[in-house]
Amino acid sequence: MVGARSLLIGLLLLVSGCAEDSNTADRVEVHDYPEFKAWVDHSVEPHSEMAAAALLNTAQAFANLDEPLLNKVLARNFQQHDPMLAPGREGLLALAGVEGHPRGGAPNIMEDTALLLYDPPWLVIHRGGRLGPLRSHNFDLLQFSDSGKWQAYLSYLQPLEAGWLDNLLFSFVVPRQLDLIPSQERQPQPLWLGRTEYSARFTTTAAETNLNRELVRSYLDGLQQNAEPVRELVERYLAPEFQLHLPGIPAGRESLVAMLERAQRRPGAITVQLVLAQHDLVWILSRVQEIREADIPVLAAADLFRVRNGMIVEQWKVVQPVPRFANNKNGLFPRPLMDEME
């Protein structure tokens, strides 16, 4: 029993990105990641310098598990959603070696950053990551208070390559591979780092950003209501040059049509949990209902859309099962936070 529990803990550490040996890593500094800093500056430009400083300090504190800096950036009511850690500040501080706990590892959310979306109080970081020896496709979701304190951290990831570890990742939550989680083939096109003509930083007015948000919501509502053929919806909302970035699925509208038509034949409600938008980017977090008769667990689906000239031109997608074993009850979806005096 002890051996099985140890194996489970090790696997969940791999899933959460905390299994790497950070003792051998050099200290991470913000100035070593100019692309990340540039994205932060671009994202918070309509807001304040305080927001930029808070985001950069948080990224550096988290990557290094810097206990003094973490104590400065963490809100007292901080919530973290890593299934292997305690639910609040103590989870991260335990990794930093407080109270005799062994130092673990934390994701470097400044590394391989592709896109940032800041819709206060939320920051979405789209980046590459690692899942043990495999590369992964990640969304990090951070929540901040009005005074710049870090209040919540959630992360969604999906492996990019098929293999035994990819299969092992899902073996504790589903008994078989699902085409709901299409990671069985190598991705034929890049997933990030500005390799499409739409990669340049883009700025819109607040009204244009809201139109983009409404456009994506209308598209998803149409898919959910299943009131008209998928192809008609896709042709109405997605530009001819649309690019899909999803492990195992070829780019383009035709691949998406085939995938959506398969999805519509399955039972299971999809509930939107959070919609964030900034400039030409819209990020949506959804909860896919558990289907017990098919032994499909609750899934967290994170989608990032890029909108240009009233059409969706790109979409990135991550699908992650909600783990059945966890050391906290926060789950993979945001929870309400009580206001606190800073």
Q: What is the CATH number of domain 2-171?
A: 3.10.450.50
Q: What is the pLDDT of residue 134?
A: 67
Dist. CA 129–CA 94, nearest whole Å: 22
| Strand bridging mode 238-245 / 150-159 | unpaired
Query: Dihedral angle at the C-alpha atoms of 245, 183, 82, 48, nearest 10 degrees?
Result: -10
Domain boundaries along the sequence of the chain: 2-171, 206-321
* Average of per-residue pLDDT across 289-317: 83
Q: What is the pLDDT of residue 199?
A: 59
* Among 35-39, 105-109, 154-158, 277-281, the least confident range: 105-109
**Distance of alpha carbon 125 from its chain centroid, rounded?**
7
| Burial group, residue 77, by CB count within 10 angstroms (0-12, 13-18, 19+) | middle
Same fold flag, 2-171 and 206-321: yes
| Positive or negative: CA dihedral 309, 256, 302, 165 | negative
Q: What is the pLDDT of residue 62?
A: 92
| Strand bridging mode 311-321 / 238-245 | parallel
Please determine, for residue 318, whether its predicted confidence score (pLDDT) is greater than 90. Answer: no
Single pTM value for the model: 0.83
What Å distances lie between residue 223 and 154, 166, 217, 218, 257, CA to CA? 26, 29, 10, 9, 11
Residues whose CB falls within 8 Å of the CB of residue 308, separated by 6 or more in sequence, listed in order: 198, 202, 239, 280
The band of 45, judged by pLDDT with boundaries at 50, 70 and 90, is: confident
Q: What is the CATH number of domain 206-321?
A: 3.10.450.50
